[in-house]
Each structure stands twice: as structure tokens, then as C-alpha cells.
Amino acid sequence: MNSQIETGTDAQVETLMDAKVGTLMDIQLGAALDTQAGTSMNARAGSRRGRRRRTMLFALASLFALALLGSAGAGVSAAASPWWHVTSRLIPSHMRPEGEGTIVAQAINLGNAPTAGNYAFSDTLPPGFKIEEAHFFARPSSSLEEGLPPNARPDLGPSGELAVFEYCKEAGSNITCSSESALFGAEPEFLLGAVIPYDFLEMTLKVKVEPGAASGGINEVQISGGGASTVKGRRAIPVDNEEVHFGVEDFTLSPEEEGGTVDTHAGSHPYQLTNTLTFNRAGDETLNPPAMPRALNFKLPPGQVGNATALPQCSDQDFAHVVQGGETNLCPGNTAIGAAVVTASTFPRRAGEEEHFTVPVFNLTPATGEPARFGFEVLRNPVILDTSVRSGPGEDYGVTVSVNNITQLVNFISATTVFWGAPGEISHNEARGWGCLLGGRYSVESGQRCIPSV
């Protein structure tokens, strides 16, 4: 798969993917995936054009949803299980020689069951980098929940307020954090909580670039245990004095089978499609990115559109109606087609600090003549992805996905977005819409009841 990304005030994305079109409601992976399983792109920290970047759009992957959405009916699924997805990003996107920076790593459970048993989450720095501070954020154990606000994610790392419990261990350029306290061992009341689907662990490392550190050294993040297979993520760290401009720091796209393995079979129908997107950061100030975009346009190749109109749809009225005093809309759970794990910041909310949100992605009612429309909402800010057919002399009758007039109220930092290959599959019930996502965290606010898998 080849992806071309042109950054700027108006961004264009052209994606070329071989696809075999099956039945009307089933678009399958093309033969190109026999030899190329997924796509990964680590962009250098900036387009030298110095163009714009601030956005709430974490929907780059949404254009690929059109190529993935399949049958609305439930199918036969494997036994529910967790599986890990790892990401990492740099602040700033270029480390300065003998300077300081931050590495942020996440391990997300993108499976359809909570983790079970002990897990270990680690980061190993390349030569020439030194850990100065280490923070680890996870759901607390039952004994630590008392006195914490609901859904709190306390800092359990060596530099955090709960370091005394020794959930992490540093050894030179490596740090490993576990769900088991070194101080209390396997005592149940001190074991960290299970990671439920679409929840995550996060490690934040403040690092020092030592004299002579080479550019391009590999940082490796690894997550193991919890009843899931071990997953590693490796990325180069650029070290130079270049100015950081607008650009894509990291982009990955992977069609996955149930269980999290990459789907490499021609003609198959993926269980889900997972995309991670991170834009460049010039420094720690989350509200002062290199620049801001105005519109994004994504061109799909001809023939790469599933019949999204065959799936349940959320009306414009329900999508736009935000619950008073809350952050959810009225879209029914059966219109959810996936979920997104988002990092963003706003002001004055929490003084512009990074915040994390896990939200549903919905199939919306398209306008007359429009192939499909998708949407999601964060902090009462809706994002709508419109589609149109390229027609007329010289056109290829493919679909273009557009996001116009991007909000300036939320500064998007990064996101991992998942689109379900068959949204009606019962294995998605535990994370379906506002009522079920994150163990029903939004169920009271949304007024939606979760109907779990049977």
C-alpha cells in the first residue's frame, strides 16, 4: 500500500491500495497484501514547508473505513481475547543534541476481552539517551482506588506520587512497569486492574540526549502478558538542530484478523482496520503546535467503497444533540462502527494539559447522492467526514472523503482509530457505542443500556 501525504493548510491524501471487490456488502483485501502486510510510515519530524497543523481530526483512518465496512450481520467469532497495540511519540519530534525531550508510549488493548493476569510494559532507549524522569499511568489496584476520583489513572512510575509501591524498575536505559507491585508481590488487592477493550497503559519518559548520541537510534517499546501475545514497537529518534514544522510524525495502518495478527491473505475480509496517526510537536506546549490545518481531503481509488448504507445509521439530529452538561450525543449503539483512542488538549480546560478520550465512531446518514458519512465527537466538538464521487471528463469515479472547517477548539495530538470489518459482529458488543464502551463508562450520561455478548 502506498500512501502519499501532502501537508499544509489544506491537506490532500491519496491512497493507492489493490482491492478485490467481493459481494455488494463485502470489500476484500487485494493481492497486494500477500507481500505487504499493512503499512507503516515514520515521517521525519517536519515538512520543510513549515505549514499548518492544529486539528481535532484523528480521522485519517476514516477514509479506509469505506474500504473495510462489510456485512452488518453477526458472524461466527473466535473466543474473546485481548490483544495489544503499541504506539510511541516524541516531544519534540526532533531531539536536540545534548538537549532534553520526552518519549510517550502507549499500550492499548484493541481486543474484545479484558486482559487477564500479570503484564509487563517496557521501553528501551537507544545508546546515548538517559532516563531523567519516568511516569507510568494505569488503572489502580483495588487498595489504591480509595480517595481517587472515578476513572482515575494515577502516576505509578518511579517519578510519580505512588512510586513507593514499586510497579516499575529501571535498569540503565531500560524501564519495565508491571501490574504486580515489587513491594507486595501477587497480593490481589495490590494488583493493577485489568485493561479493558480500548483502554490503555501509558509511559512518559523525560530523557537527556548525551554528548555524541547518534541520530536515528532505535527506541523499542514492548508489552507482554495479560493473556495476550507480546507486541513490540520500534522507531528511530532523530537528533538534530532542525526546526520542527508541520508534518506527520508517525502513521501506521494495519488490517487485522480477530486476535490481532496482521491479515495477509488476499481476498480475505479483515476483522478490523487499525490506524495510528501522530502529528509533529515542536515542544511541550500542547496549545502551541507548529501550525493549524483548515481542511483535509482524502482520495480513495475507484471501486474501494463498501455499502455503508446497508448498516444502521445515526441521524444528523441525534449526532448533533449533545447531552446537556455531558459529552455524549444521541447516536444509538447499533450505529457504531468502531472506536478511537485520542490524545488532545484544550484551554482553559485543565490548563491545556494532555487529555485522553476513548469515543465511538458512528455511521451517519449521508446526504442525497453522498456515498457515506461518518462522524465522532470529542469534548462536544463533532467531526464529520463527508464523501463525494469524482465524476466528469477525465475523472475515475472514485470517492473523496473531506473534512472541512476543522475546529480550532481542540488541539489534536495523536489517535489510534479502529474500524470494524463487520460492525454487526457480536464480539463488538462489549464496546458498542456510548452504552458499552469502556465498560459502560458513558451509559448513565447517554442513557443507553449495554447489551453484552451472549
Torsion on CA atoms 265, 258, 335, 402, rounded to nearest 10: -50
Q: Cell numbers at residue 353, please?
A: 494539559
Q: What distance in Å separates the CA atoms of residue 19 and residue 31, rounded to the nearest whole number?
A: 7
Q: What distance in Å separates the CA atoms of residue 309 and residue 26, rounded to the nearest whole number?
A: 13
Q: What is the pLDDT of residues 12-54, one digit of tens each?
A: 433 333 222 222 222 223 322 222 333 344 433 333 333 333 3
Residues 6+ apart with CB under 8 A from 285: 352
Q: What distance in Å separates the CA atoms of residue 33 and residue 35, rounded to the nearest whole number?
A: 5
pLDDT of residue 347: 67
Cβ burial of 306 (10 Å; 0-12, 13-18, 19+) is: buried
Q: Cell numbers at residue 32, please?
A: 497486494
Q: What distance in Å separates the CA atoms of residue 98 and residue 410, rounded to the nearest whole number?
A: 32
- Cα 285–chain centre separation: 21
Using left for φ > 0, alpha for ψ between -120 and 50, and beta otherwise, residue 43 falls in: beta
Answer for the pair 274, 417: CB distance below 8 angstroms, yes or no.
yes
Q: What is the pLDDT of residues 168-210, one digit of tens each?
A: 999 989 999 999 999 999 899 899 999 999 999 999 999 999 9
Q: Which helix (H) or strand (E) holds 19?
A: strand 19-21
Q: Is 279 helix (H, G, I), strand (E, B) or coil?
A: strand
Q: What distance in Å separates the CA atoms of residue 311 and residue 364, rounded to the nearest whole number?
A: 10
pLDDT of residue 198: 97
pLDDT of residue 28: 29
Q: What distance in Å separates the CA atoms of residue 17 and residue 307, rounded to the nearest whole number?
A: 18
Q: Minimal CA–CA distance to 409: which of 352, 363, 454, 347?
A: 347
Q: Where are the domains of the chain?
A: 1-81+254-454, 95-241
pLDDT of residue 218: 97
Low-confidence ranges of the chain (pLDDT < 50): 1-68, 70-75, 454
Number of neighbouring beta carbons within 10 Å of residue 180: 20
Q: Which residue bears the cell 476484500? A: 28
Answer for the pair 42, 397: CB distance below 8 angstroms, yes or no.
no
Q: What distance in Å separates the CA atoms of residue 162 and residue 17, rounded to the nearest whole number?
A: 48
Q: What distance in Å separates the CA atoms of residue 147 and residue 225, rounded to the nearest whole number?
A: 29
Fold of 95-241: Immunoglobulin-like (2.60.40)
The residues pairing with 377 across neighbouring beta strands, listed in sequence order, are 382
The residue ranges of DSSP E strands in 148-271, in sequence order, are: 168-171, 174-178, 200-209, 217-225, 228-237, 248-256
pTM of full prediction above 0.85:
no
Indicate the length of the chain as a whole number. 454
Residues 6+ apart with CB under 8 A from 150: none
